């Protein structure tokens, strides 16, 4: 994946690919949008590190450019995340019953919807941020908010915060991993493990109040 994204680094195409993956990820949670973000950030960090050996002036100019590129990647990822959330939210709002039945046909999504619905009642919008990291959590929250006809004012700010938090975390993993470990497979592999760990922790935190209530 790093080899595929390498030639695209610094071009608009890397943002297009990442954005499309993130937008569609809300409908197809198995898409590797987080891995793409990490790979793009790792490649950008690796190219900046390699350029640091050219010379002080050149490395300074290139260093500023690749930091700006990483910042743009984070902003792009956050924007695409919110856009995907709002598309899913609007579609579910207009076809609430149909989406509710579709979720009901999947045991995993139905169980997640029940847990997150209860968590939203207890914890408010902060659960949207946690759900952005949890497996399938983003899909359930966005579709669930539309099905429940929650207002844009209730949902959008939390969606934006969730997108920023997820994008900043994912890009930071790729950037610092690539900066410290280079662009070998070790760096993105460790970054993906950290991303999965964050998702597992988010899922645990979402379920924990439910367990307490059960006891």
pLDDT surpasses 90 at 21: yes
Average pLDDT over residues 140-160: 85
> How many Cα atoms within 13 Å fall on the side-chain side of residue 13?
7
Nearest-CA neighbor of 27 among 131, 134, 142? 142
Higher pLDDT, 115 or 29: 29
pLDDT surpasses 80 at 58: no
pLDDT surpasses 60 at 210: no
Average pLDDT over residues 24-45: 85
Estimate the crossing angle of helix 107-123 against helix 96-104, to 10 degrees. Answer: 120
DSSP label at residue 8: G
Rounded to two decimals, the pTM is 0.78
**Cα–Cα distance list, 191 to 53, 124, 175, 178 (Å):** 25, 30, 9, 9
pLDDT surpasses 90 at 139: no
Question: What mean pLDDT value characterizes the chain?
Answer: 77
Cβ count within 10 A of residue 154: 15
């Amino acid at each position: 994946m790093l080899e595929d994204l390498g030639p695209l680094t610094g071009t608009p195409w890397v943002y297009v690919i990442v954005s499309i993956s993130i937008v569609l990820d809300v409908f197809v949670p198995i898409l590797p949008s987080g891995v793409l973000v990490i790979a793009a950030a790792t490649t950008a960090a690796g190219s900046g590190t390699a350029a640091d050996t050219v010379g002080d002036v050149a490395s300074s100019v290139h260093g500023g450019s690749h930091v700006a590129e990483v910042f743009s990647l984070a902003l792009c990822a956050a924007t695409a995340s919110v856009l995907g959330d709002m598309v899913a939210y609007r579609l579910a709002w207009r076809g609430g019953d149909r989406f509710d039945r579709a979720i009901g046909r999947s045991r995993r999504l139905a169980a997640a919807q029940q847990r997150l619905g209860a968590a939203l009642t207890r914890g408010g919008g902060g659960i949207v941020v946690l759900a952005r990291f949890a497996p399938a959590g983003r899909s359930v929250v966005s579709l669930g908010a539309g099905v429940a006809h929650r207002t844009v004012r209730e949902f959008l700010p939390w969606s934006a915060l969730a997108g920023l938090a997820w994008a900043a975390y994912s890009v930071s993993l790729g950037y610092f991993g690539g900066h410290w470990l280079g662009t070998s497979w070790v760096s993105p592999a460790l970054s993906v493990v950290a991303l999965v760990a964050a998702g597992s922790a988010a899922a645990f935190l979402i379920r924990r109040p439910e367990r307490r209530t059960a006891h």
